[in-house]
Amino acid sequence: MRFPGFSDDGPNRSVLGVTRSVNGRTWRERLDPVTSAKALAIEQRHGLDGNLARLIAGRGVEIDDALRYLDPTVRDLMPDPDTLTDMKVAVGRLAEGVTSGEAISLFGDYDVDGATSSALMQRYLRLCGIDAPIYIPDRQTEGYGPNPNAIGELAARGTRLLVTLDCGSTSFDALQTAADLGLETIVIDHHQCGAVLPVALAVVNPNRQDDLSGLGSLAAVGVTFMVIVALNRELKRRGWFNGRVEPDLMGMLDLVALGTVADVVPLVGLNRAFVVKGLLVIRRRTNPGIAALCTIARLSGPATPYHLGFMIGPRINAGGRIGDAALGARLLSTDDPLEAERIATELDSLNKQRQIVEAQMLEEADAQVAVAAGPLRDPGPLIFASSPDWHPGIVGLIAARLKERWKRPAFAISFDRGEMGTGSGRSIAGVDLGQAVGAALEAGLVTKGGGHAMAAGLTVAAGQLDALRAFLSERLSQSVASASAEAVLAVDGLLTAGGATADFVDRVERAGPFGSGNPDPVFVFPAHRIQFADEVGQGHVRLTIASADGSSMKAIAFRAANEPLGKLIFAARGRNLHLAGSLSLDHWQGEPRVQLRLVDAAEPGKAI
């Protein structure tokens, strides 16, 4: 069985003849003839639903691996942790610290990945009898990563062993200070780094140049989990758990899933298993902090990657962006439900404040880019926006919004402290931003910088801004041109409002969880009438669509009200449009209802 509306006319056939949608994209079937044949083989060999077989074939799953893909396990997909460089040294020293009751301190980043990594390590050490305090730097006064002043403070408190989480790989001065003060340091990180590493007893980072583990797509919390697995094994070997209760490692996967989704790493392989199993733990709400966030975000129904990425994650990040950066880690590490409720309420309030500030900054940033782009709306290969009035904790969100709007890698930089600016960048698929920022650091164009393929951060002097823009534009122009050569929306199938049932969505979600690296299936609803459309919330478009047989369903287009997509929807009230989007279940008031998350549209007869 195959979705209706497709034929075997070749991989370049546009769906419904749409070669330029309202968002400037060609709609193209995801499966070519080879993968279509593979889908049929998966369906026949394993007795799977034909639609599900097509979805997993379209995500590169081989015939023999189909059943394992549908039930990924951490045990099957996680290699021996010792394949990571410096792992044995790190866990040996940690085991020594645990068994001797040594003073251990944790230093984490202020984002969700850092908060989950820190909370995960603290929770594990607590179960081993070690009270390891967490230090999260203030985003505005201390910046990213360890700094000499903070290291001095930790040393004064009696710290002998320092563990950095989601940071540290490029903290040369701070870790030299740690060594000078007699602290031994273990770095647990995933950010890209150069051949020269800071002074540390061990640097466990799958993206260091001499690491051959092939685990470079892990978030820091995934690396942290692997360290804990190795440490648990080492403590068992030493007999530490004789007479003690061994920690439930699988019960900690809720934190791993949250950090993995929020850091937007590819949901493939081991990452996908972390999220699949972690979501099951989250649904049990055993972590008081996560449970409190689910409640205050009014999360209904089973937790999904969407909830983690767009409802839970932003609230945790709000502390680091405009409030107390340590709130997220404290929330995720507490076992007190009342304390969790109090922190979650504070984070929710900060998140609302963040939304107001973000809207003001985005309006100014978009105006800057529009002026630079000119009447042809061509901003060049790379977008830069900056201001002395912007909040440095929100520039990453502005960069992400600019990237979405202009389909280019984007940087937003705050010069709120004068001549030195703090900036964040977000990239598009196929353009490695972290590597480019690393090259700018080596060239002396930024004083601090790093990241990974899709996101990067930097510190730059105002006088170097033009040179930095020219350097990065030249370095990235070819990859941006290649990535932008043809904008394509990969389509998984054609449906009608009547065919988009809750049972259908349940079958589709067996191929998930969906996110970065494992994109949400996109379905096209041909010639559906716009029965109702209006603006809600922060520029979202809420609508009801109906098929020719009278069946209807709810849909929403996020942040689209002032974009071409939203404008087309409003103009087409009462008329038919071809609509493309992903399906989800809305569990409001306990009854699951299918909702379409709209991403694109085209007018029938005007789509080519």
Highest mean pLDDT among 182-186, 300-304, 476-480: 182-186
5 pLDDT higher than 70 = no
List, in order, residues 6 or more apart from 469 with CB less than 8 Å away. 382, 384
pLDDT at position 246 is: 96
6 pLDDT higher than 70 = no
C-alpha span between 468 and 502 (Å, rounded):
50
C-alpha span between 395 and 390 (Å, rounded):
8
* 3-class DSSP string for 422-449: EEEEECCCCCCHHHHHHHHHHCCCCCEE
Is the Cα torsion angle 556, 561, 567, 573 positive or negative in sign?
positive
Mean pLDDT of 115-133: 98
Phi-psi region of 489 (alpha: psi -120 to 50; beta: other; left: phi over 0): beta
pLDDT at position 589 is: 66
409 pLDDT higher than 90 = yes
Phi, psi of 350 (to 5 degrees): -65, -35
473 pLDDT higher than 90 = yes
145 pLDDT higher than 50 = yes
Among candidate residues 461, 462, 439, the one with its CA nearest the CA of residue 450 = 439
Cβ pair 48, 252 in contact under 8 A: no
7 pLDDT higher than 50 = no
Q: pLDDT of 257-299, one tens digit each?
A: 999 999 989 999 999 999 999 999 999 999 999 999 999 999 8
pLDDT at position 51 is: 87
pLDDT tier for residue 119 given thresholds of 50, 70 and 90:
very high
140 pLDDT higher than 90 = no
Q: With H, G, I as helix, E, B as strand and everything else as coil, classify residue 588.
A: helix
Q: Is 190 exposed, middle or buried (0-12, 13-18, 19+ CB in 10 A)?
A: buried
C-alpha span between 326 and 289 (Å, rounded):
13
Give the least confident one: 120-134, 287-301, 584-598: 584-598
pLDDT tier for residue 374 given thresholds of 50, 70 and 90:
confident
pLDDT at position 11 is: 52
| Strand residue runs (E) in 275-419 | 383-387, 410-414
| Strand residue runs (E) in 275-355 | none
Q: pLDDT of 164-211, one tens digit each?
A: 999 999 999 999 999 999 999 999 999 988 899 999 999 999 999 999
Q: Is 34 exposed, middle or buried (0-12, 13-18, 19+ CB in 10 A)?
A: exposed
Cβ pair 399, 421 in contact under 8 A: no
What structural domains does the chain harbor?
15-30+492-602 (2.40.50.140), 77-348 (3.90.1640.30), 379-484 (3.10.310.30)
Cβ pair 235, 247 in contact under 8 A: no
End-to-end CA distance of the chain: 29
Task: Report the percentage of the chain scoring pLDDT > 90.
Answer: 82
Mean pLDDT of 156-161: 96
30 pLDDT higher than 70 = yes
pLDDT tier for residue 439 given thresholds of 50, 70 and 90:
very high
**Where is pLDDT greater, at 233 or 430?**
233
Phi, psi of 237 (to 5 degrees): -60, -35
Task: Report the percentage of the chain scoring pLDDT > 70.
Answer: 97
Two tokens at 187?
Answer: 């770095």
pLDDT at position 376 is: 77
DSSP 572: T
Indicate the average pLDDT of the chain: 93
Two tokens at 298?
Answer: 């009014």
Residue with tokens 């099957």: 76
pLDDT at position 325 is: 92
Mean pLDDT of 382-395: 93
Mean pLDDT of 513-536: 94
Mean pLDDT of 460-464: 93
Mean pLDDT of 518-547: 95
C-alpha span between 199 and 182 (Å, rounded):
12
Give the least confident one: 9-13, 135-139, 440-444: 9-13
Q: At what angle do helices 112-127 and 253-262 cross, to 10 degrees?
A: 170
